[in-house]
Amino acid sequence: MHQSHMQQPAQTSLANFSHDGRIGLIEIDNPPVNALSVPLVQALIAALNDFEAVAGLEALVLYGAGRTWVAGADIATFDDPGFPVAEFNAFLTRLDAQQCHVVAALHGAVLGGGLELAMACHHRVAQPNTRLGLPEVTFGIVPGAQGTQRLPRLVGAELALDMITSGRALDATQAQAAGLVDAVAEGDARSIGLAAAEALLASGAAPRRASALAVQPAPETAFAKAEAAAAKKPGWPQLATAIRCVRAAQDLPFAQGEQVEADAFAALVNASSAKALRHLFFAEREAAKIPGLPRDTARRPIRSVGIVGSGTMGGGIAMAFVNGGIPVSLIDVSNEALQRGLGLIRGNYEASVAKGRLTAEQVEQRMGLLQGSLDYQALADCDLIIEAVFEDLQLKTEVCTRLGAVAKPGAIIATNTSTLDVDRLAQATGRPADVLGMHFFSPANVMRLLEVVRGAATAPEVLATVLKLAGAIGKVPVVSGVCYGFIGNRMAEVYMREADSLILEGAEPAQVDAAVEALGMAMGPCRMLDMAGVDVGARTVIEYRKTGGLPDDPSYRALALELFELGRFGQKTAAGFYRYDGRKALPDPQVTEIAKALAERHGIARRSHIEPGEIVERLLYPLINEGLKILDEGIAYRSGDIDVVWVAGYGFPDFRGGPLWMANEIGLEKIAERLAHYAAVRGNDHGYWTPARLLSAAGSTQNIQVQS
C-alpha cells in the first residue's frame, strides 16, 4: 500500500476507525486486555458507523491493540443493569450482515464476548499464540452474545457442546482444524488481517456468515453425556441451560435460537450462583494484593527448591514444582523413606500416563528435575527450602534450626505447617526475615490453594517472591497472619469439633456428612478427615493441647482422638469414621459403639434422631462465626480471602461463594440468633457459641457487609 492511500486512526476512542486503500480498519484499544465494556461497545458502534460512511471500501478488518484481541467482557459489568447486552448483540447482527468481507485478525486471548465478536465476522485469521473459548459457565452464565448459536454452526454441535459446557479453550491449531479459525498466520494482527482481506477480495468469494451455516448435529449420546454431567452439579444451572441453547442452535433457525439464548442469559445473570462465582473470580485476584506491599517490591530469584520430607505432602509439593519446570532436591532421614517417596512420585506420574494426561517422555523429563538425598548439604544452593515433616513442633523446630544453618544467604525458608506457630519456627532458623509459612493442601500437586503465612518478621520481598511463585506453579495464594490453624484449619477446627459432638450425641458419620454434602460440599467432615488422615487431625489437636490452646473440656474432639488411639487413621488403614472397601466409605457399627462409650464416659445424653437442619447449623454457623473473628483480628485481610481458602482448599461449593459470602445470603442476623439458641440449649461454658464482634457490633447485624 502506498502511504498516500492510508488514513491513520485518530487515537481518541476505544475503537478507532481508519482505512488502508480499499480496506477499512477498526482497532480495538481498551488496555490491558481490550475487555468489552459499555464505552467499548459504544465505540465499536461509532467505528462501524464511520466505516459505513466512507464510500468505496470493499472489506473491513477488526484487530486488537496491545497484547491481545478481546479477552471477554469486563466481569464487573454483569452487575451493571445498564450493560447493553441487546445493543452489543444488535451490533454483532449488523456486523454479520455487512455486504463486504469482515475479517477478525486474532491474537492472544479470544474469550467470551471476544470470541462472539470474532464469530460475527465472516473470516478469522489468528496468530499461532491465539487461544479461543467461551468460559461463561465458570461465571454462572451462558454466552449471551449469540455465541451458543454461532459456535455450533462453525464447529458442529458436538464440539460446541463440549466447549460451552466445559469452558475450555482451543489453541490456534485446534481451532483451525475445527473450523473456528480459517487461517493461522505469523505477523502482527493488523498485517495478517490486511493480507487476509486482500486474499478474500482477490478470490472473488462471497462473505461467509456463520449465522447462515447449517449445524452439523451432535449424536444424542453427546447430549445425554452432557446432561448426566450437568445433573451431578445441581448448583450450576448454567450447564443444563447451555445444553438447551446448543439444542436450539441445532433445531431452530438462527433468530429463534438467538432468542432462546437471550432469555437464558437474562435468567442466569442475576442468579445467586452466578453472583457467587463472580465474587470468587474477583476475590482470587484481590487475594494477591497485599496492603502495604507495593507491586514493584523486589523479588528474589527462585531457580531451585529444596524439600525436607518425602512423604505424601513432601512428594506432592515436589511434584508441584517440577511440574512448573523448577528443579527440586528432596531429602529424608533414611534411604528407605526417600526411595518410597520417589517411588510414589513416579507412580503418580505413571498413573497420569495411563490416563493419557502425560507422555512417558514428560515423566522422565520431570523425574530428571528431581534429585533425592539424605544429606542436608544438598540444600545448600537452593533458593527456597520447604520443610514438610510431621506436624510436631519439636521436630519442626529442630529441622528449622538445621535449615537456618545450611541455607545460603538470601534463601527463603518455608514451613508447611498446617497449624503451628510460624513465628516460633522462624526464630529457630536464626534468620526470621527469610521465613514464612507455605501451607499446601493435600494432594499438593493437585489442590489449587496455597496459604501463605506472613510472620511478624517476614521481609516484604520474601512475601512478594512467594506470591509470584505461587502463580508460576498454578496455585492460588491467600495470605494469612499467624494464629493456630491460620485461616482454613482454624475454621475447620470448630467444624470438626461439632461433627465429633453430633456423633457422640447419636448422629451417624454418614448423616453428618450427608447434611452438608446436600448443600454442595465436596465431602462432609468425617469423609474429609478420613481422607486427610485421622492421625494427622489428631496430632494437630495434641500439639494444640501442648500449647495450652484447648478449652477445659474433656470431651473436646474425643472421638477423633479415640479413633487415633485405636489405629483407625482413615482410608490409609481402611478404617476411620468409616470402614473402607478400597476408597468406598461404608458405615461401621464399631464407630457407633465407640461413640456410645465416649458419650457415657463424658456424660453426654444421646438422641435417637438429629435433624439435618440442626447438623447444618451446628457445623456451618460456628465455622462462619470463626471466620468473622479471623477477619476482625486481621488474620485475613478480606472476607473474600476467607472464601477463597474454603472454596479452593476445602471443597466448599463455589456456587455458594464461600462461607462468608454465604453468611450474607443467609443473613448475619439469623446466624447470630441461631448461635444464641444453641448457647441457651447446649450451654456456653467454653464459649463455643459466643458471637464474633462483627455479629454483635453496636447491637445490630443488619448493617454489616461481608465483601471481597
Q: Is 136 a catalytic residue?
A: yes
Helix (H, G, I), strand (E, B) or coil at 36: strand
What is the band of 699 on the pLDDT scale with cuts at 50, 70, 90?
A: very low
Instruction: Indicate if the alpha-carbon torsion angle 563, 566, 572, 578 is positive or negative.
Output: negative
For residue 81, the model assigns a pLDDT of 64
**Residues 42-68: what's their mean pLDDT?**
97
pLDDT digits (tens, 9 = 90+) for 151-190: 999 999 999 999 999 999 999 999 999 999 999 999 999 9
pLDDT at 492 over 70: yes
The larger pLDDT score, comparing residue 82 to residue 585, is at 585
For residue 245, the model assigns a pLDDT of 98
Do residues 372 and 338 touch, judged by C-beta distance below 8 A? yes
**Residues 489-517: what's their mean pLDDT?**
97
596 burial level (CB within 10 Å; 0-12, 13-18, 19+): middle
For residue 121, the model assigns a pLDDT of 98
pLDDT digits (tens, 9 = 90+) for 225-270: 999 999 999 999 999 999 999 999 999 999 999 999 999 999 999 9
pLDDT at 473 over 90: yes
* Bridging pattern class, strands 15-20 and 449-453: unpaired
Do residues 246 and 161 touch, judged by C-beta distance below 8 A? yes
pLDDT at 271 over 50: yes
**Residues 262-283: what's their mean pLDDT?**
95
**Residues 430-455: what's their mean pLDDT?**
96
* Cβ within 8 Å of residue 162, ≥6 positions away: 168, 222, 226
pLDDT at 134 over 50: yes
Peptide bond into 32 cis (omega under 30): yes
Angstrom distances, CA of residue 140 to CA of 233, 439, 684, 699, 702: 12, 30, 40, 36, 27
What is the band of 705 on the pLDDT scale with cuts at 50, 70, 90?
A: low
pLDDT digits (tens, 9 = 90+) for 189-218: 999 999 999 999 999 999 999 999 999 999
What is the band of 79 on the pLDDT scale with cuts at 50, 70, 90?
A: confident
Do residues 175 and 162 touch, judged by C-beta distance below 8 A? no
**Residues 348-369: what's their mean pLDDT?**
95
**Residues 291-311: what's their mean pLDDT?**
96
What is the band of 82 on the pLDDT scale with cuts at 50, 70, 90?
A: low
Distance from chain centroid for Cα 120:
31
Catalytically annotated residue among 27, 58, 136, 227: 136
pLDDT at 92 over 70: yes
Give pTM, 2 decimals. 0.92
> Could you give the percent of the chain with pLDDT greater than 90?
92
Cα angle value 528/534/536 (rounded, 5°) = 100
What is the band of 140 on the pLDDT scale with cuts at 50, 70, 90?
A: very high
pLDDT at 704 over 50: no
For residue 684, the model assigns a pLDDT of 96
Closest by CA to 36, choosing from 149, 97, 117, is 117
For residue 703, the model assigns a pLDDT of 42
Q: Is 600 a catalytic residue?
A: no
What is the band of 77 on the pLDDT scale with cuts at 50, 70, 90?
A: confident
pLDDT at 9 over 50: no
Do residues 198 and 98 touch, judged by C-beta distance below 8 A? no
Catalytically annotated residue among 27, 116, 387, 493: 116
pLDDT digits (tens, 9 = 90+) for 508-553: 999 999 999 999 999 999 999 999 899 989 999 998 998 898 999 9
For residue 78, the model assigns a pLDDT of 76
CA distance 72 to 281: 14
Mean model confidence pLDDT for the chain: 94
CA distance 6 to 284: 45
For residue 700, the model assigns a pLDDT of 44
pLDDT at 697 over 90: no
Do residues 118 and 143 touch, judged by C-beta distance below 8 A? no
**Residues 329-340: what's their mean pLDDT?**
96
For residue 208, the model assigns a pLDDT of 97
pLDDT at 8 over 70: no
Peptide bond into 291 cis (omega under 30): no
What is the band of 12 on the pLDDT scale with cuts at 50, 70, 90?
A: low
What is the band of 52 on the pLDDT scale with cuts at 50, 70, 90?
A: very high
pLDDT at 330 over 60: yes
**Residues 398-424: what's their mean pLDDT?**
97
CA distance 475 to 586: 33
Assigned C-alpha cell, 492: 475447620
Do residues 538 and 564 touch, judged by C-beta distance below 8 A? yes
